Structure formats: C-alpha cells, structure tokens
Homo-oligomer: A and B are copies of this chain.
Amino acid sequence: MQLDQLVTFYKALGDPTRVRILAILANGPLHGQALAGKLGVTPPTITHHMAKLREAGVVYERRDKNTIYFYVHEANVIRQSQAIVNVMEKAKDSPVEDIFTQDNLHVQRRHQMAAEKTQVIRSFITPDGKLKQIPSQRKKKLIVFEYMVRGLEKSRKYKEQEINEYIRQFHEDYATIRREFIMNHYMYREEGIYELNPEEMWAKAEDLQ
C-alpha cells in the first residue's frame, strides 16, 4: 500500500462521527437519512462523511429505488487495519545475521508464507477491495478465498441471498465463488442456510504440496 491510501484510511477513522457511523453499520446496512437521524446531523453531513469512508475503502453501497444503503466493507477494514504494522515491518532493514538456525526454521517458513499471502492479496484485490479476477492457480485462489471469508461472522447463519450479497462486494460472479467456498470447506450449507466452518476445516494454501 502506498502512503496516500494509508493516510486516507487513518484519516477516515480519525473522526468521532465516522467511527459512530461504522459502529452503527456494523449491525447491518442503513441508508443516509436513518444515519442522519441516529446521529443527529443533517443529510449533507452524512454525504460528506460517506464520501470519506468510501474513499478509504471502508464502506460500499447499494441502491434500492431512491434509497442508498451503506455497508461496512469489513474485510477491507480488517486488512487496512494492519497497514501501519506492515509499514513498520517493511521499514526495518532485514539484519544480515544468520537467522537460519535450527531452532527457528519453521518460524522462518511461517514468515515467508505470510509475506506470500500479502503479496497475492495485493495483486488480486484492488485498493478499494474488489477482486480483479478469480486466481486460477489453486494456491493463490485459496489465499484469496481465505481473505474474503474472513469478513464473515463465525457461527452466524446466512441465507443464500446474504452470502450472494456479501460476495458481490468483491466480485459479480457470486455463484461461482459461493460454490468454491463450499467445495473448499470454508462454509457448509444445510437446507439453504450457509455457515462458516471452523477454521481447522478450511482448505489452506500452506497445506499444499
């Protein structure tokens, strides 16, 4: 992520009204007037704040007739929350010591995997949280799916419609992706109701080969 996007993100969260908006939207989508009412501000103020939140990739919206519903883009919030930590991590010059001692080879490997994931996410997810295309390499696909699925709530039951909506924030082809979620054990379906599997069941890129 470049400096600009990072600063935009933190600026967006650096205002009490906007944080309150996010807290409200965490309970589910809402339209502008409702937000204005709950917060005791005028609609133009909401427009102003939503523009900032949208620019930061923190919310997205869907229109229904004349009404615009705002949604938190949760996966994006989670990802960007790490931004400053990543910057600091990256800023550290890797010391040239021999860190490949017997003791921490597996730690090394875990580091490497994390770096690879970041890399894959960065190349398949646009700054505003859209999935450019479904990766064809299985390993990359799993990394992206795991990233997407992290925005869903554990042990919550979703209607198919809700899952479709959720996936659509990333990509139009929700049907394919929904099917992949099931096939790779991120979720299971029972009588039309979807739910996240425990993480131990997920297909994991790091288990490949």
Contacts and interface: CB of A to CB of B under 8 A. Distances in A.
B93 A27 contact: yes
Interface stretch (A2-10, A39-47, A125-133): A2-10
A189 interface: no
Given A14-B10, A27-B92, A97-B157, A78 B85 contact: yes
Q: How many A residues touch the partner, as a band?
A: 35 or more
A16 B106 CA distance: 36
Contacts of A72: 88
Contacts of A108: 155
Identify whether the interface residues of A are mostly helix, strand, loop, or mixed.
Answer: helix
Copy number in this complex?
A: 2
B87 A77 contact: no
B87 A19 contact: yes
Contacts of A24: 91
Nearest to A28: B92
A107 B155 contact: yes
A13 B15 contact: no
Given A3-B19, A22-B84, A77-B85, 11 more contacts: A6-B13, A6-B19, A7-B13, A12-B14, A19-B87, A22-B88, A26-B91, A27-B91, A27-B92, A81-B85, A95-B156
